[in-house]
Structure 1
Amino acid sequence: MRKVFSKKALREAGSGYLLMSPALFVLLLFIIGPILFAIYLAFHKVQFLGTTSFEFVGLDNFKRMLDDTRAKIALWNTVKYVAIVVPAQTILALVLAATLNAGLKGQKFFRIVYFLPTLTSSAVLTLIFMWMYNQNGLINHVLKFFGLPTYNWLGDPSVALNAIMIMNIWSTAPYFMVIYLAALQDIPDSLYEAAELDGANAWQKFWYITVPNLKPVTSFVVIMGLIGTFQLFDQSYIFSQGSGGPNNSTLTVVLLIYQYAFKSLGTMGYAAALAFALAIIILIATILQRKFSKEESLY
């Protein structure tokens, strides 16, 4: 049956779209438009300097990734970074939140102290840690004081990426801690009281009550962590001065995209193809995480 729209309904719909038009315009101009343009570039050989040209090359940019050694190194570094940082920052955030929610003295003060790294600029934090990671910096002095081996944090390929991991775990966990703290307020106290009457200790209450009730929040935290860590750029750029060194040990996919897009001639299309491939990887990782978290919630 054909639906007839009244003039009033059409007028209300038109008014609604008119009010939304500024937001829709911004969305189209700054989000949807650049995404579509990047996809267009991924299938072309692009030249911006001098005479601008777009040469259609089909899937050549994507085939090039298979033979690009630096792309493989960047992907491996990024995957290793994600596999270590996401679980570590999630577990640390959960432990900190549970500790600060336990009714300890001065918990408001410690909440503020733990959250301070999140308020600091990522670039400033990186510069501070570079000073601390210096061979004569604070961390090596502390290690030397306790008789532990010191490291060339900035110049040794075997520890440079680990140095960035430590910094990011320390700086991002407080943000997720606040999310967990908000979620902990929704867990009924009656559950903990019933468990206490049954003789459960603090660890049992945490493992069998707190963790299961926070599964939806944990899923959100992991997804946000995946998206953020796959997009690692600024810390790696500052640590290596844009080179991804030493010996490509801090080279990430986003840093490699930047290098191909703005430091090499005629590789903007290839950079767009790398960005498109990274977006697909993040999408797949997010879908898999949501699938596994839903399966776990059934038990």
Structure 2
Amino acid sequence: MKQTLTKKMWRETGSAYLFLSPALFVLLLFIIGPIVFAVFLAFHKVQLLGATSFEFVGFDNFTRIANDTRAKIALWNTLKYVVIVVPCQTILALVLAATLNAGLKGERFFRIVYFLPTLTSSAVLTLIFMWMYNQNGLINHVLEAVGLPTYNWLGDPDVALNAIMIMNIWSTAPYFMVIYLAALQDIPDSLYEAAELDGANAWQKFWHVTVPYLRPVTSFVVIMGLIGTFQLFDQSYIFSAGSGGPNNSTLTVVLLIYQYAFKTLGTMGYAAALAFALAIIILIATLLQRKLSKEESLY
């Protein structure tokens, strides 16, 4: 009897792995495999053009990051982008969701309108905003029409990254708004009724009932925002034609990785080291955020 059960268990396990094998193969080939290979490249000097060669250099690629001026600029730009965009898009998403959940007239129409930016591809949105920011674009035409001076939005290093921030806040907030909206509809009405009996106004109900109840959702939104903003690439690439300009003002870590990997000979290993360092930074930021959110929930 025991031997029969063992055979049946092995047969069921084998059948399960047989059905899982296509997914496991794709996972190994396209996710785990590239990660392992990238780690391997990070410790080598790689030459891919001509005669392919891999020269082991240990931690030289990582120590080089500390002396790379462009890497420091890219990291600073990325950190500034993350610190501004993540809180702004989270707050805007929560405000939009709370507004739509208030039962205003035309709620369905506004849901569609607010969500439209998320349906448009990132490249198309970037091209639209480039046209708007252009010296002969929509924004300058509006400024000129009301008698205000025009501005070179894309050519000024002090403004270029801020222009990308505005575009991304506008385009990503609706996605997180839908997540908040689903969570808001799960809040029991009894909590708001109890708050009303205690004399709470609309703002007090929002701050003391809605916000605490949505804390787990906010944690998820912030983590997803952190991961997405640290990986900023396509908008910066399109805005600057791949250069990170003007004057490295839109240079991000991922764009720098691309430049070293595909634009400069013999620096594929260094690009892999930068990618590995960025992954560690994202992991640390995510773990810190999770720890803080758990402490807040305990409090």
Relative to the length of structure 1, the TM-score reads: 0.97
- 1:115-126 matches, cutoff 5 A: 115-126=115-126
- 1:133-148 matches, cutoff 5 A: 133-148=133-148
| Counterpart in the other structure of 2:245 | 245
| Counterpart in the other structure of 2:254 | 254
C-alpha deviation, 1:67, in angstroms: 0.7
| Counterpart in the other structure of 1:87 | 87
| Counterpart in the other structure of 1:15 | 15
| Counterpart in the other structure of 2:203 | 203
C-alpha deviation, 1:108, in angstroms: 0.6
Q: Deviations over 1:151-190 (max 9, x none)?
A: 2111000000000000000000000000000000110011
In the aligned structure 1, how far is the partner of 2:288 from the partner of 2:42?
Answer: 25
C-alpha deviation, 1:213, in angstroms: 0.2
- 1:36-115 matches, cutoff 5 A: 36-115=36-115
Q: Percent identity?
A: 88
C-alpha deviation, 1:148, in angstroms: 4.6
Q: Deviations over 1:116-139 (max 9, x none)?
A: 000000000000000000112111
- 1:169-180 matches, cutoff 5 A: 169-180=169-180
- Figure out how many residues of one structure are paired with residues of the other and give that number: 297
In the aligned structure 1, how far is the partner of 2:221 from the partner of 2:172?
Answer: 11
Query: Unmatched 5+ residue regions in structure 1?
Result: none
- Root mean square deviation, CA, Å: 1.3
C-alpha deviation, 1:200, in angstroms: 1.1
AA partner of residue 242 (structure 1): G
- 1:264-279 matches, cutoff 5 A: 264-279=264-279
Q: Does 1:283 align with 2:271?
A: no
Using a 3 Å threshold, how does the CA distance of structure 1 residues 18 and 89 change in structure 2: closer, same or farther? Answer: same
C-alpha deviation, 1:143, in angstroms: 3.2
Relative to the length of structure 2, the TM-score reads: 0.97
In the aligned structure 1, how far is the partner of 2:144 from the partner of 2:200?
Answer: 43
In the aligned structure 1, how far is the partner of 2:296 from the partner of 2:285?
Answer: 16
Query: Unmatched 5+ residue regions in structure 2?
Result: none
Q: Deviations over 1:76-106 (max 9, x none)?
A: 0000000000000000000000000000000
| Counterpart in the other structure of 1:294 | 294
In the aligned structure 1, how far is the partner of 2:84 from the partner of 2:149?
Answer: 23
| Counterpart in the other structure of 2:31 | 31
In the aligned structure 2, how far is the partner of 1:43 from the partner of 1:6?
Answer: 46
| Counterpart in the other structure of 1:131 | 131
Using a 3 Å threshold, how does the CA distance of structure 1 residues 41 and 134 change in structure 2: closer, same or farther? Answer: same
In the aligned structure 1, how far is the partner of 2:51 from the partner of 2:5?
Answer: 52
AA partner of residue 184 (structure 1): L
